[in-house]
Structure 1
Amino acid sequence: MKITEITSCYLGPQISPEQFVPEHIFIFLLKGRMNGYDGTKHTKIGPGECCIVRKNRLARYNKQKDQNDFEKVVVILDEEFLKKYQKKYALSSSEYFVSDIFIPLESSPSVINFIQEQLPAYESQETTLQRTDEIREKFLQVLLDVYPELVNLFFDFGKPGRIDLEAYMQKHYKFNVSLERLAYLTGRSLSAFKRDFKAIFRQTPNRWLVQRRLQEAHFLIEKEKKISNEIYLDLGFEDLSHFSFAFKRHFGYNATELAG
């Protein structure tokens, strides 16, 4: 089967669609394009290209359809599955030095052949947890044969350590996630996160996040000539009405007035 004839396929446990990445994800694009964003860096993936999205990070992506089509292969490599695999094959890991969240992988005939030959057969059969794990195990073997350095990424089961809170928040304030997630990712309990946050920023996390997003919105509208519906989602607001209300309350005038 040609790679262009395969439709979207999802292997592994369902994970939340929020902007927190709880498990490692392999993505192979069949049709369309994807633009990943990690807070500072954009990563573009096109048809026939693949990447790893690493766990315990904040990230989001925008998809661009090709002739109204967007097809991808997604394989979730969750911690429970990886621990079983590591135990079965007695694998050890060392430090993984790449800090990127979206990790592009060079095109590999072995990976493409697996997607062409194995996934259509998998989808034609009854899906069970055992069958899903079997195909994921075979796929992981292919990945590690082609990209052996991924051993050090996949089998590091450590939790996020305590990091510089101010630097982290200035980089990630645009992501719409819970305070519990932010606390976890900065290596703190929720109470310690709130306490440290107030000591650094002199206000509560929720208030600071809204104000910081609005400051950026003001800059983008005034200096970059953006309009509200182009920026509100990227700045972490859930909907346009919430953004408009918060903007007016904070600045005393509407975003449309600033835009002129």
Structure 2
Amino acid sequence: MKFNNLHSCHLGPEISPEQFIPEHFFLFLLKGSMVSYDGYKHYEMKPGDYCIARKNHLVRYTKYKDNGDFEKVIITFDEAFLKKFLERHLYQAEPTDTNDSFLFIEEDKLIHNFVHSLEPYYNGTEQLDDIFVDIKREELLMILLKNNPELKDIFFNFNVPHKIDLESYMNQHFKFNINLERFAFMTGRSLSTFKREFKAIFNTTPGKWLMKKRLDEAYFLLNKEHKKPTDIYLDLGFEDLSHFSFVFKKEFGITPSEVGKLKV
């Protein structure tokens, strides 16, 4: 599938740069590839793939450029837009047991033609105004629901995350670099309840536990898996290498680079 003049583009509210998906969005990969991880499974995308990224999920992305390029189409279906859509179209969401963070959509002529129709607006010849943006988003949403009726149970479920097992969730997602408010929300708790129950389970504060857990994992990867510090610090939730090295040495008495030189 080729779109000769279409470059990376975005319709709707901007997506948060956090490792947290605050709104559903449609993603079509034009050039390059991507591997995503949500704490449970990996998702691979290649050029020509379509998917729906689901709101209220934690996801880490690894992007791979093709000859220096990574191009995509992202169309956000935020809650305000979806509720306005329901005022004109009758859909009723049902409970679903689908927990995947990414739902892949089969290639379809209607979707293909829709994406192709965006080309004039991203090669610089035309300009989209806000009203027309919503018209295009509604067009895509109707196509998606026509071909995949079960998506109504995803798009039109406006419930917040329910209370889940805190210990299991934190052990599965400690590497994600999000704030405590997000962790509380994702586990279905207020921040105060999250902190109180966390202390009861782990006998320490969330901040101290997260740091220790990430540093222990770093030591294992450096010592047993022979990873390099530059390969792991971002994946373990550290924002920069110098901070990672500082807290690592404070914890273990040696720098991350020195771990690899230890005799096994």
* Cα pair 1:180 1:190 within 8 Å, conserved: yes
Mapping 1:72-83, distance limit 5 Å:
72-83=72-83
List runs of 5+ in structure 1 lacking aligned partners.
none
* Cα pair 2:166 2:187 within 8 Å, conserved: yes
- Whether 2:123 is the aligned partner of 1:120: answer no
Displacement of 1:3 after TM fit?
2.0
| d(CA) in 2 for partners of 1:223, 1:73 | 40
* Cα pair 1:110 1:146 within 8 Å, conserved: no
Identity of matched residues, %: 51
| d(CA) in 2 for partners of 1:3, 1:37 | 28
| d(CA) in 2 for partners of 1:50, 1:36 | 14
Amino acid at match of 2:173: H
Mapping 1:85-164, distance limit 5 Å:
85-116=85-116, 118-123=117-122, 124-164=125-165
1:48 match: 48
- Whether 2:27 is the aligned partner of 1:22: answer no
Amino acid at match of 1:11: L
1:171 match: 172
Displacement of 1:165 after TM fit?
0.5
| d(CA) in 1 for partners of 2:15, 2:104 | 21
2:9 match: 9
| d(CA) in 1 for partners of 2:3, 2:97 | 32
| d(CA) in 1 for partners of 2:207, 2:70 | 35
1:206 match: 207
Displacement of 1:26 after TM fit?
1.0
Normalized against structure 2, the TM-score is what? Answer: 0.95
Larger mean Cα displacement after TM superposition, 121-130 or 154-163: 121-130
* Cα pair 1:22 1:55 within 8 Å, conserved: yes
Normalized against structure 1, the TM-score is what? Answer: 0.96
Secondary structure of 1:68's counterpart equals coil
Secondary structure of 1:73's counterpart equals strand
| d(CA) in 2 for partners of 1:99, 1:40 | 10
| d(CA) in 2 for partners of 1:60, 1:255 | 23
| d(CA) in 1 for partners of 2:33, 2:23 | 22
* Cα pair 2:5 2:119 within 8 Å, conserved: no
Query: How far does the alpha carbon of each residue in 1:38-67 deviate from its partner, in whole angstroms, 9 at most, with x for none?
Result: 013111000000111100111121110111
Secondary structure of 1:250's counterpart equals helix
List runs of 5+ in structure 2 lacking aligned partners.
none
Amino acid at match of 1:82: L
Query: How far does the alpha carbon of each residue in 1:81-132 deviate from its partner, in whole angstroms, 9 at most, with x for none?
Result: 011111210111111221111222222222111101x212444433222111
| d(CA) in 2 for partners of 1:251, 1:165 | 28
Query: How far does the alpha carbon of each residue in 1:161-217 deviate from its partner, in whole angstroms, 9 at most, with x for none?
Result: 111000110111011111011111111111101000000011000110010001111
